[in-house]
Amino acid sequence: MFDTIVIATDGSESVRRAVGVALDLADRFDASVHALYVVDAGEVESSPDRLREEMSEALTERGERALSEVETETDRAVTTAVREGRPATVVGDYAREVDADVVAMGTRGRHGENRFLIGSVAERVVRTCPVPVLTVRQLAEDEEGPTGTPESV
Inter-axis angle of helices 87-97 and 120-128, nearest 10: 40
With respect to residue 142, please indicate whether it lies within any of the assigned structural domains. Answer: no
> What's the pLDDT score for residue 70?
97
Which residues span the domain enclosing 117?
4-136
Is residue 141 a part of any domain in this protein?
Answer: no
Q: Tell me if 153 is assigned to some domain.
A: no
What's the total number of domains in the chain?
Answer: 1
Residues 6+ apart with CB under 8 A from 114: none
Note the pTM of the prediction, 2 decimals.
0.84
In a domain, 152, yes or no: no
**Sorting pLDDT into bands at 50, 70 and 90, what band is 119?**
low
147 belongs to a structural domain: no
- Binned at pLDDT 50, 70 and 90, residue 71 comes out as very high
Q: Residue 108: inside a domain, yes or no?
A: yes
